[in-house]
């Protein structure tokens, strides 16, 4: 496996436009059901919002493959603890609090990786972690946690739910969850709102880590957009299915964004998790 910065050169043909212009802003709160710049304040006071969040028990769905605090020695706990150690080390070298988890194509393990990484970090004392489902197209994290999809991010951005209803605390843990929210037709338009950047810029005031689950890079511009306004990006590849061509195009689409490294997710019947590996980025070696 090559490192992210060492991809072979090839023809780059993105299958989707990689950015979209921000929607025009008009006076007033909403335009065509989408919140405009005036719909939310510019300072959120997240620590105070967290004190008002609802709590929900940790109740993972069967077959969700989530790591279990009560069975810490079971795979894939070990692999995610190792990934956590590497990320925590990188955090000592650079300002690193908001991390996008994405991949080139569908079903490569983005949600599995984002959720387990968030869980692994949240197992450390005094380490507040948010897992945010920014896959507004096909969100799954609420299913893994057996919680409601809405109210969530889209409801907040539409001005239809306050943040304290959208962020949920997992009882007795350092983990907070922000589901995707109700289905919408125009995720890219919503993600382009100024409120997204305001929210993302403030997350570090409450959370040491925020992990963003996102749609595949080569199928929409959403992950690329979020990656441009967060501190770093982890690229998941699935051993046996991700091709060099797709990962090359994915890395190229991330352009100047800070790719922290590549997770090689090698789930196969009979050898689940056994090839779970993490590759250092150039920044870490510096």
Interface with Mg ion, residue 110, by CB under 5 A: yes
Interface with Mg ion, residue 220, by CB under 5 A: no
What residue 216 binds from ligand ATP, Mg ion, none (CB within 5 to 8 A, per partner kind)?
Answer: ligand ATP
Q: Does residue 253 contact residue 218 with C-beta atoms inside 8 Å?
A: yes
Residue number of the CB closest to ligand ATP reads 267
The number of C-alpha atoms within 13 Å of 16 and in the hemisphere containing its C-beta is 19
- As a whole number of angstroms, the distance between CA 41 and CA 209 comes to 23
Q: Which of 12, 61, 244, 272 binds ligand ATP (CB under 6 A)?
A: 272
Interface with Mg ion, residue 111, by CB under 5 A: yes
Interface with ligand ATP, residue 111, by CB under 6 A: yes
In terms of CB distance, is 35 or 104 closer to Mg ion?
104
In terms of CB distance, is 140 or 210 closer to ligand ATP?
140
Q: What burial class does residue 133 get, using C-beta atoms within 10 Å of its C-beta: 0-12 exposed, 13-18 middle, 19+ buried?
A: buried
- As a whole number of angstroms, the distance between CA 98 and CA 101 comes to 10
How close are the terminal C-alpha atoms of the chain, in Å?
20
Q: What burial class does residue 271 get, using C-beta atoms within 10 Å of its C-beta: 0-12 exposed, 13-18 middle, 19+ buried?
A: exposed
In terms of CB distance, is 112 or 209 closer to ligand ATP?
112
Q: Which of 267, 278, 279, 281 binds ligand ATP (CB under 6 A)?
A: 267
Interface with ligand ATP, residue 103, by CB under 6 A: yes
Chain contacts with Mg ion (rule: CB under 5 A):
110-111, 140
């Amino acid at each position: 496996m090559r490192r992210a910065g060492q991809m072979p050169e090839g023809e780059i043909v993105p299958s989707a436009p990689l950015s979209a212009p921000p929607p025009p802003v008009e006076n007033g709160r909403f335009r065509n059901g989408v919140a405009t710049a005036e719909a939310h304040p510019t300072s959120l006071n997240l620590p105070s919002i967290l004190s008002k969040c609802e709590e929900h028990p940790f109740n993972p769905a069967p077959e969700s493959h989530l790591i279990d605090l009560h069975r810490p020695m079971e795979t894939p706990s070990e692999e995610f603890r190792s990934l956590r150690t590497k990320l925590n080390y990188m955090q000592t070298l650079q300002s690193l609090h908001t991390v996008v988890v994405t991949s080139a194509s569908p079903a490569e393990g983005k949600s599995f990786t984002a959720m387990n990484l968030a869980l692994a970090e949240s197992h450390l004392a005094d380490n507040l972690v948010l897992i945010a489902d920014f896959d507004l197209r096909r969100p799954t994290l609420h299913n893994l946690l057996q919680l409601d999809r809405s109210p969530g991010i889209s409801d907040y951005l539409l001005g239809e739910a306050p943040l304290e209803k959208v962020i949920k605390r997992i009882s007795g843990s350092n983990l907070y969850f922000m589901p995707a929210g109700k289905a919408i037709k125009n995720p890219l338009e919503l993600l382009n709102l100024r409120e997204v950047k305001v929210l993302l810029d403030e997350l570090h005031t409450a959370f040491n880590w925020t992990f963003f689950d996102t749609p595949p890079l080569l199928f929409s511009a959403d992950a690329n957009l979020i990656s441009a306004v967060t501190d770093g990006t982890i690229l998941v590849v699935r051993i046996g299915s991700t091709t060099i061509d797709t990962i090359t195009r994915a890395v190229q689409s991330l352009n100047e964004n800070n790719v922290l490294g590549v997770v090689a997710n090698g789930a196969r019947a009979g050898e689940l998790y056994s090839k779970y590996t993490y590759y250092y980025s150039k920044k870490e070696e510096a």
